[in-house]
Amino acid sequence: MRRLFLISLVTLGVDQFTKYLIYYVLDLETVRRMVVIPTILNFHLAWNEGINFGLFGGGGELTRYIWIALALVIVVCFYIYAFKQDKSWHLLVPIGLITGGALGNTFDRVIYGAVMDYLNVTCCGINNPYSFNVADTAIFCGLALMLLFGNKYSKSK
């Protein structure tokens, strides 16, 4: 389980470190948008009170507390699941990425009241209005790895 906690902690740390750089060092709160790689990658600050793409946002404090509680319950469920399974990397890496990402976004909700999104990817002249962050990417990659290696998790203790 130490490896799982380490993966979660590193994911959380990278997420929060990048958000610190974006917000305090690059001062994206003032600048709002910064081109990193023309026509591909921008930094575009957005405060997301909801879930993906801002869904279910704007519900006030009660909704914020519901998202915080739900994320913590999901993290605990993933840890319980991991504890009952074989401790292979096929399981620990995806769950570590998912839980670390969930904790990163939860930390934002607790501290800032919303999730800090700042990565904006565009392609082929299409303007993408949505931003995301390292935590979102970790959650996505963790879920993708679980789908890829899902059959390796079938053994319980």
* pLDDT score of 86: 75
* pLDDT score of 55: 52
Q: Is 86 a catalytic site residue?
A: no
Q: Which of 87, 123, 84 is nearest to 7 (CA)?
A: 87
Model-wide pTM > 0.85? yes
* pLDDT score of 124: 80
Q: Is 117 a catalytic site residue?
A: yes
* Pair 28, 43: CB distance under 8 Å: yes
* pLDDT score of 11: 98
* Pair 92, 4: CB distance under 8 Å: yes
Q: What is the C-alpha to C-alpha distance for residues 19 and 13, in angstroms, rounded to an integer? A: 10
pLDDT tens readout for residues 18-42: 999 999 999 988 888 899 998 899 9
Q: pLDDT band at 157, cuts 50/70/90?
A: very low
* pLDDT score of 16: 98
Domain definitions of the chain by residue range: 2-126+133-150
* Pair 17, 11: CB distance under 8 Å: no
* pLDDT score of 107: 97
* pLDDT score of 52: 65
* pLDDT score of 152: 65
pLDDT tens readout for residues 96-128: 999 999 999 999 999 999 999 999 999 887 888
In the set 15, 27, 86, 117, the catalytic residue is 117
pLDDT tens readout for residues 37-94: 988 999 999 998 866 655 555 667 777 888 899 999 999 999 999 888 877 888 899 9
